[in-house]
Amino acid sequence: MKRLKLAFALLILIVMSVMGYLLYRNIDLIVKDESPVEFAKEGADYSLTAPQFIEMDGDRIVLEVKAREASYFKEDDSAHLVKPRIEYLGRDNKKFVIVGNRGKVFTERNIVLLDGDVRLSTSDGYLLETPSVEYRGNEKIAYTDKKVRIRGGGFDIKGAGFEADMENEKFRINKNVEALFDESIKEQAPD
């Protein structure tokens, strides 16, 4: 039994040593200089796979932007995203998730643009669908001038132009509004 314990301790020590060596050897992969990465998209200053951008309010994460990949352009301080996903945590921990096919983040202006099959879902079961949307982080507003459709909670609303105050959980459809109220319209599961 004593030999088994000794062998197990030795195995743990070897595994930890190998992991430490690999981390030390690859630390430059974590702390990169600003030189372009070899897989950067054409014209990009650098590119990342599976990036994550976080906005904090004190010690609380209020906004998280993830993507399959991103390419950063210093010229206009923007990141071009492939398959972006935005998670916004509102009051009372209500969660809003916005996904699209592509996107752009302007870090200095705190603006995120999503395009291509955009879907905004809420933790309380509502789903908005539109071709594109703009999120203005300083104002906490999601906006589009395109066609929109909102479903859930017993209603199905269609229209054009949309503005949502994410902080106060209010929205407005600007024109051509058609609404169907029917209890059989079930809430939509968030993405």
Beta bridge partners of 104: 80, 113
Report whether 149 contacts 155 (CB < 8 A).
Answer: no
Report whether 100 contacts 127 (CB < 8 A).
Answer: no
**CATH second-level architecture of 40-181?**
Sandwich (2.60)
Q: Give residue 160's pLDDT.
A: 94
Tens of pLDDT, residue by residue over 50-103, are 888 888 888 888 888 899 998 988 888 888 999 999 888 877 778 889 899 999
Report whether 67 contacts 53 (CB < 8 A).
Answer: no
Give the pTM. 0.67
Report whether 171 contacts 146 (CB < 8 A).
Answer: no
Rounded to the nearest 5°, which phi and psi values hold at 25?
-65, -35
Report whether 93 contacts 62 (CB < 8 A).
Answer: no
Tens of pLDDT, residue by residue over 16-54, are 555 555 555 555 444 444 333 334 467 888 888 888 888
- 52 token code pair: 């994550």
SS3 87: strand
**Domain boundaries defined on the chain:** 40-181
Element of type H or E holding 30: helix 27-30
Q: Give residue 52's pLDDT.
A: 87
